[in-house]
Structure 1
Amino acid sequence: MRRLLVLVVLVAGCGGSKVAAPVNPRATAAPTATPVLTGAAKCGEATCSTLRVPLDRARPDGEMLALKVAVEGPTDAPVFVFLSGGPGEPGVPFLARARKWLGPVAKRVRIVAVDQRGTGADALDCPALQREMGASDLSPPTQDAVTSCASKVGEKRQFFTTADTVDDLEALRVALGADKLMLDGISYGTYVAQRYALAYPQRVKALVLDSVVPAEGVSLLTLTQMQATRRVLGPERTKALAKVVKDQGNGPELLDLLTSLSVGKPRDDGYLKAIDAASKGDDASLKRWIAGVGKYVHGWTAKQLSQGLHASTLCADSPGPWGDAATPLEGRQKALDDAAAKLTDADLYPYDRETATKNGFALQCLYWPPVAVPKPDGPRDLPDVPTLLLNGDRDLSTPYEWAQQAVKHAPGGTLMIVKGAGHDVQDQGDRKALAAVRRLVASPG
């Protein structure tokens, strides 16, 4: 669920040893000092500061994290907070883009962006896992890369959940002196925005959810993405893709390719023609597409999108077929295989069971050591505030079926599906979508 802009010119014609379930070390959160922003300095058109928050809120006198925050606009204006994707992507580099989306209404709000814990300059950096996955959710990592990352992050990995980020966001609100926040999240940022709204409903003025991840989380088996492929490609191309998957057994690789290419504005159809050709026995062009996209995507550094943070957060928040994040490694593989075995060929089409069990989401969490963290709540309605849900109909990273699911829990929600758009609608300049965002931000209340 990354927020990735594929800007490169491409070449073309998320089983193990026995580990006991950990004991949850978290206690009831102790009182913390009033959050403040320190070290203010100009950074471009904004002012950058540091928000210091406890790594573990049960130990406010223990290790502290320094989160970079960028703020632009009048101090007495309503606060508009941009939330980046991933999980693993910093937020501060995108403040200028948020200003562009808002256009003339940008002067009426205080625009804020924050590098969430474990991202940006202080990203959780796991070199092997970063090389294998880069900016991808779906590139299959090796067990060694995942377990070495978990070892490097160590016991701290329990403190990089979305719940921790939500509490950081509330600390930011206090530090800004704001009564309420307008939140604009993209991809994983929509999940953070919804989880904040559920935790602090009285502190939310409005929500923009762009490329929606439902608040209850998603399956590690990527079934929605696989099934959405049929809608995005159409019946003939889907049939060709199914043949390639059957002949070559490369379903996880092809789902990763198509998902990566659905981020941002849709491209030319060269990769689709390559799938057609591969279905007829000529896979040279498709191999070039896979290599070209992979080279770019896997080149992303931890400061751009941290896979260490991605695994820490995803595997803490997402219920696997084996249960919650504290489930011992032994038995996880069987539970994953059993869950996939229950899916019919029609459920999986045009992919296969290997796509469900060997994609990056599934393998990161299959191998990630047990950690005891608070379980996210089940689905509940968001507060009844103006809520705009945006999704591109070509998006395979966060298919619009998730937005359709999420709007059912948004009493103040309006869903806009943008025809021809991919992942991250606001960055694609659709006039109707941006006009809707600006109306929401400019509305009183």
Structure 2
Amino acid sequence: MTSTRGRIAALLGAVAVVAGTTLATPAVGATAGEDRPAPGSGLTGQAPCPELPDFTCGTLTVPLDHSGATPGTLNLAVAVAGNTKAPKGDLLFLTGGPGQPGVPLVKRIVSKLGPVLKDYRLVMFDQRGTGDNALQCPALQEQMGASDLTPPTPQAVTDCAAAIGPNRRYYGTAETVGDIDLLRRALGDHRLTLDGVSYGTFVAERYALAHPGHVARLVLDSVVPQQSYDPMDLAALPAAARVLRAACQATGCTTDPAVDLAETVRRYHNGPAVLDALTSYEFVDPNYGGIPEALHEAAAGHPEKLQGYIDGGHEGDAVPAWLLSQGLHASALCADGRYPWGTSDTPVESRPAALERTRQQLTAEQTWPFDADTATGLGSLLTCLNWPQEPVPPAPSEHRKLPNVPVLLLGGDRDLSTPLEWLHQEAAMARQAQVVIVPGAAHSVQTRAASDVGRQAVYDFLLK
């Protein structure tokens, strides 16, 4: 989703968190009464976070299984700013992945949201299975790093599932939504303002659907629609033509990169690797400088330069689990996703035939400038192809509208990780939608875009 593909290490910036006051003190604007934390249900272990002033770190203890059927608890790290008199209440910033932590990114987010942080108290937390408590799958982590497009080996997938064990079913978005509501109560809030990036938008949407009365506003940056991500990337595949042609026009290149991409994939059957390289490179250069020339040479029979980009992207995706856990990534996507074979409660042995039937039915219109083998050969899809059969958590209806609150949907027109087609799909589900597209920007507009257009839109929206 992700997704959250590409050079995640470049997204993270400096790793530091901050110091300060009392976590369970409601910000101004929080409603007293039933939403105040019950005795013993707040945040524990409160202490100043290292290196930055005005934040406090603590621990939120949540049930492993919010239904109560399976015993056990998890401890989630939380960081909360010290401005308890923030007039607009708490702003919960949700990171992506799935698998990316929250607390190590506080410093970076503060630097991007500074103009609104006198009015809001910033809250960030490590979603279950991330950060210091990241799910560990060494082989899968080594093979995929921060990518959700690199195809893993079946052995790495099954070893990962075995290492996590049967509790892997409790690391999907539904359980994270439950965690957020406990965090809201621990903070003493009646309503939260949520700002999500990439997979964080999906979490925000699912929280809003599950708890519509406890949401004040939503910022959705690099949007994954509430129906969940498409494991065959049937929006991103054709979007590559639009994105590369726009970048080519902006840089004055003289070739047609979409036509060259189609010929390259036809010639070398390397669609997943090329798409992975493109979605990694958008974090480096949203203009995709050098990519059209490499595609043109590859289409003419000289793939060396393109292979260099592919190899470089894979090297750049190498990250440890505490920065992006592939164990959590697999657990969440396989719990949440819908695949050609159905969901993860489908027997493993029947899945390949269903995938092959889907491959045969895909049309060039759906996949061009890639092909059907690309759509059915992507990493996250193949991970879940081999993920063990397990019960699937209940999900809200795909057709339910978001609650009647203001929603800002933010995207870059060069984003292949979460293409604009997904943004417009989700905008149709919002009653009060404001859409801002930032020209020349790629994934994660608030933290990565060179232009301030998107960030200013967030400031204006949150300070209304």
Check whether TM > 0.5: yes
Q: Which residue of 140, 143, 149 corresponds with 2:151?
A: 140
Read off the aligned partner of 2:304 and give its amino acid letter: A
Contact 1:134 1:307 in 2 (8 A): yes
Shift of 1:34: 5.8
Counterpart of 1:363, as a letter, is L
Deviation at 1:95?
1.8
Q: 1:335 aligns with which of 354, 365, 368?
A: 354
Distance 1:253 1:217, change over 3 A: same
Contact in 1 for aligned 2:401/2:429 (Cα 8 Å): yes
1: CA distance, partners of 2:8 / 2:213: 38
Q: Which residue of 2 aligns with 1:24?
A: none
Distance across 2 between alignment mates of 1:202 and 1:434:
27
Q: What is the deviation of 1:285?
A: 1.2
Q: 2:414 maps to which residue?
A: 394
Report the counterpart of residue 63 of structure 2 in structure 1. Answer: 54
Distance in 1 between residues matched to 2:66 and 2:207, nearest whole Å: 17
Structure with more contact order per residue of length (Cα contacts < 8 Å, sep ≥ 6): 1
For residues 292 and 125 of structure 2, what CA distance do their matches in structure 1 show? 38
| Partner amino acid, structure 2, of 1:437 | V
Q: Distance in 1 between matches of 2:320 and 2:208?
A: 31
Q: Is the 8 A contact 2:345 2:390 kept in 1?
A: yes
In structure 2, the gaps of 5 or more residues are 11-37, 246-254
For residue 303 of structure 1, the aligned residue among 300, 322, 336 is 322
Aligned partners of 2:347 and 2:7: how far apart in 1?
A: 36
- Contact kept? 2:66, 2:178, Cα under 8 Å: no
- 1:430 corresponds, among 451, 454, 460, to 451
CA distance in 1, matches of 2:352, 2:94: 34
Q: How does 1:23-102 map to 2 (within 5 A)?
A: 35-43=41-49, 44-45=52-53, 46-59=55-68, 62-77=71-86, 78-102=89-113
Alignment match, 1:274? 294
**Contact 1:206–1:440 (CA<8 Å) still a contact in 2?**
no
Tell me which residue corresponds to 2:174. 163
Q: Which secondary structure does the structure 2 equivalent of 1:178 belong to?
A: coil
TM norm structure 1: 0.91
Residue aligning to 2:270: 250
Q: Shift in Å at residue 274 of structure 1?
A: 1.1
Matches within 5 A, 1:27-426: 35-43=41-49, 44-45=52-53, 46-59=55-68, 62-77=71-86, 78-234=89-245, 236-263=256-283, 266=286, 269-297=289-317, 299-379=318-398, 380-426=400-446
Deviations along 1:257-311, one digit per CA (max 9) or x if unpaired, are 11111236525512332111111122111111111111110x2111000010001
Percentage of pairs with the same residue: 46
Cα 1:248–1:5 shift into 2, 3 Å: closer
Query: How far apart are 1:354 and its partner, in Å?
Result: 1.4
Aligned-partner SS, 1:139: coil
Contact 1:35 1:53 in 2 (8 A): no
Deviations 1:24-76 (A, max 9, x none): xxxxxxxx986310111111232110000011123389321110001113224
CA shift at 1:221, angstroms?
1.2
- Which runs of no fewer than 5 residues in structure 1 stay unpaired? 9-31
Decide whether aligned partners of structure 1 residues 265 and 107 sit closer, same or farther in structure 2, where only a CA change above 3 A counts.
Answer: farther
Q: 8 Å contact 1:187–1:210 — kept in the other structure?
A: yes
- CA RMSD in angstroms, aligned pairs only: 1.7
Looking at structure 1, the residues matched to 116 and 340 of structure 2 have their Cα atoms a distance apart, in angstroms, of: 45
Contact 2:56 2:82 in 1 (8 A): no
Point out the more displaced range, 88-97 or 303-312.
88-97
The letter of the residue matching 1:385 is: V
1:351: how far off?
Answer: 1.1
**In structure 2, distance between residues paired with 1:186 and 1:273:** 31
Runs of at least 4 residues off by over 4 Å: 4-8
Structure 2: how far apart are the matches of 1:356 and 1:268?
22
